[in-house]
Amino acid sequence: MNRIRLASTEDIPTETGLRVDTDTLRIALFRVDDEIFAIGDRCSHEEASLSEGDLFDDEVECPKHGSAFDVRTGAVLSLPATDPVPSYNVVVEDDDVYLLLEDQ
Ligand code: FES
């Protein structure tokens, strides 16, 4: 299992997300209550950054056309997007957020 540090929990806002780019991934981090979730930042409909969307409970609204995505799973909840975005496993240790990746 690979771990990549993404951010500090205090860097993640509560009303929108935080975009973090790794070498290969573009990730949107969200804070829901005291939990942190990570999904793909690129909307599945067109080019838009989900981390710039408004967060309502555990749903983020795409800033471009308004599709809602579940930040816990990446599932798409409303049109015009029809495909989910990836979701990623993260763990928080000492206020640092780490992405967990299976070894290839
Ligand atoms: S770009 Fe996200 S819904 Fe269209």
Using the mean position of ligand 1's atoms as its centre, give its distance from the Cα of residue 47 in Å: 7
Q: How far is the CA of 43 from the centre of ligand 1 (A)?
A: 6
List the chain domain ranges: 2-101
Whole-number mean pLDDT of the chain? Answer: 97
pLDDT at 4 (0 to 100): 97
Q: Per CATH, which fold does 2-101 belong to?
A: Rieske Iron-sulfur Protein (2.102.10)
Q: How confident is the model at residue 103 (pLDDT cuts 50, 70, 90)?
A: confident
Instruction: Give DSSP secondary structure letters for 10-77.
Output: GGS-SSS-EEEE-SS-EEEEEEETTEEEEEESB-SSSS-BGGGSEEETTEEE-TTT--EEETTT--B-
Reported pTM? 0.96
* Probe target for ligand 1 pocket from 26, 41, 45, with the most ligand atoms within 8 Å of CB: 45
| Residue 101 Cα to ligand 1 middle (Å) | 27
Model pLDDT for residues 15-58, shown as the tens digit of each residue: 999 999 999 999 999 999 999 999 999 999 999 999 999 999 99
Nearest CA to ligand 1 atom 1: 46
